Structure 1
Amino acid sequence: MARFEHTVTLAPVPRRWLESCVAMLHDLAQDTEAEAGRLLLPDGRPLPGLVLEQGRHLRPGARYRSVPAEDGEPEADQCVTVLAWDRRRKTALEIVTVEDDRGHPVRIDCALGLTSAERPREASLSATLSTSGRKRAKYLGGTGRVDLDLAGWWQASGTGRRPSRAPLRGTLTHALARVTVTVVPRPAPDGRWRVTVKARVRGRSFARPLLPLAAAVLGRHARREAAAALDRAAAAWNTHVPALVRKDAGRLRAEVADALLDP
């Protein structure tokens, strides 16, 4: 088993601001109307790039497909299905993308979940990558999952009290390895967040006995590269997030609506 740990300092995101943004996105989707499969923004502008293919707008079972700009016909390789839509309880979407890579279909299944849009408490993202028509196809796919306990995050980042479990947890599973990641924040003296990322890598199948050797040979370089990547991500966060959180929900709603018109 190989281990990694690194800490970065991030600009904070106010809880009320995040909650207002989640509510805003939920409201924007609800205020969008469907007419004969076309989606119309609240101001009447047609939304390009997406059509309602099946079911009633934002009801469980509603399915949307992407539309290429050149001919306006629904694509067969990407669709979004509403699994749940209740702002007080749960919002859940399934996104399926299928790409033909030289005659070998590659499929990505993603599921997004939020409890709840009114007062967000938990969020999750899971994804599965699979391929067919190739030799050793199982080695080209894998699964991943990320779970965020928002209540635990606010408590840890606000009070510094060590949570019973990491508020942000993720796993990546491949035929040859399994990676587990935990992320825990704590308040910095200047009001920012000190966020510690820990990762563990375990070998699977015939790769299990090879992992200690790989860690001994490449471990130091891999940890250095991972720390540098986290530092770059933190720098980008600290560059963009402070300006973003200064915008209120109304301004962000207008910007999101405009962005949707340019798929």
Structure 2
Amino acid sequence: MARFQHTVTLAPVPRRWFESCVVMLHDLAESLEEDGVRLRLPDGRPLPELLLAEGSHLRPGARYRHESGDADGEPDPDAALTVLAWDRRRETVLEIVTLDSNPHNATHAVCTLRLTSAERPRDAEVSGEMRTSGGSWTKYTSGSGRLHLDLRKWWPSAAGSGRLTAPPLIGTLDHPLTHATVKVVPRLAQDGQWRVTVKVRVKGRSFARLLLPVAMAVAGRRVRAAFAEALDHAAESWNGQVPVLVRKDMELLRLELIESLFKADEEHKPEASR
């Protein structure tokens, strides 16, 4: 078994701002109108790149695909976003599936996003699974993971109030050779920032159960340094972007989000089509 722990300082995200952002994203999605396979914004502009391939907009079973990029504008068959649930009072559940049909190493990946609920966010969860086929090592290139955030515990813990009985953020990663658990706890720093401690525990499986202690004895110090460095870089990126975001109101964020979609679409178009 190997254990890692590191603490970083993060700029805080106000709870009210986060909850308003969740509502804004739901409002934006619900403001889109169906026009065949196209989705249009309230101002009439078609939403770039995303097509409604099956079902009715935001109804359970609705399936969205990217445009393939071909001249015919057909949906890309190798990626899809499906609405499993869309209920502001209960839960929002989206499933993203991507396929790589490489005959030598086909990959099937599924990612599920779940929020309970949009009106009063209580829990957020991301889970994923990847499976490969077509190769002799497919058993060792597959795995699954889950990350669960208890929003009812996060802000009280980050504010230094209330009794914390379990970490607000817990994750697991399962692989044929390893099982890892992640626990994240925020605390209030003196300057109002968040002091976030990340703990990771890794267990070896199969023949890795014997190799893991040897690897940690040889390279444990470098691995722990790399772990801390990765978290420090993530914190630096967070602190460079989050304070700017939380100072913006929801209407400005909504407009910037919409324009970013059109900007990205223009950047991806081939020169000949411009």
TM-score norm. by structure 2 comes to 0.93
The residue correspondences of 1:147-158 to structure 2 (distance < 5 A) are 147-158=148-159
Cα 1:162–1:218 change in 2 (3 A) is: farther
The residue correspondences of 1:100-115 to structure 2 (distance < 5 A) are 100-101=101-102, 103-115=104-116
> Matches of 2:175 and 2:220 in 1, distance apart?
19
Query: What residue in structure 2 maps to residue 185 of structure 1?
Result: 186
Greater shift in the superposed pair: 68-77 or 9-18: 68-77
SS at match of 1:52: strand
1:135 and 2:124 correspond: no
Deviation at 1:260, TM superposition (A): 2.1
Query: What residue in structure 2 maps to residue 57 of structure 1?
Result: 57
> Matches of 2:232 and 2:161 in 1, distance apart?
22
Query: What residue in structure 1 maps to residue 74 of structure 2?
Result: 73
Flag structure 2 segments of 5+ consecutive residues without an equivalent: 266-274
Query: What residue in structure 1 maps to residue 31 of structure 2?
Result: 31
Query: What residue in structure 1 maps to residue 6 of structure 2?
Result: 6
Identical-pair percentage: 58
> Matches of 1:226 and 1:160 in 2, distance apart?
29
Deviation at 1:102, TM superposition (A): 5.7
Counterpart contact for 1:160–1:187, Cα < 8 Å: no
Counterpart contact for 2:103–2:134, Cα < 8 Å: no
Q: CA RMSD in A?
A: 1.2
Query: What residue in structure 2 maps to residue 200 of structure 1?
Result: 201
Flag structure 1 segments of 5+ consecutive residues without an equivalent: none
Paired residue type of 1:42: P
> Matches of 1:55 and 1:235 in 2, distance apart?
42
Deviation at 1:69, TM superposition (A): 3.1
> Matches of 1:186 and 1:202 in 2, distance apart?
27
Output one character per residue of 1:127-157: Cα deviation in whole Å (capped at 9) or x when no partner.
1111111112010111011000011001100
Deviation at 1:162, TM superposition (A): 4.9
Output one character per residue of 1:35-85: Cα deviation in whole Å (capped at 9) or x when no partner.
111111122110121111111110001111111333211111000110000
Counterpart contact for 2:170–2:183, Cα < 8 Å: yes
Segments ≥4 residues shifted beyond 4 Å: none
Deviation at 1:239, TM superposition (A): 1.0
Query: What residue in structure 2 maps to residue 83 of structure 1?
Result: 84
Query: What residue in structure 2 maps to residue 17 of structure 1?
Result: 17
Query: What residue in structure 1 maps to residue 270 of structure 2?
Result: none
TM-score norm. by structure 1 comes to 0.97
Counterpart contact for 1:60–1:85, Cα < 8 Å: yes
Paired residue type of 1:21: C
Query: What residue in structure 2 maps to residue 42 of structure 1?
Result: 42
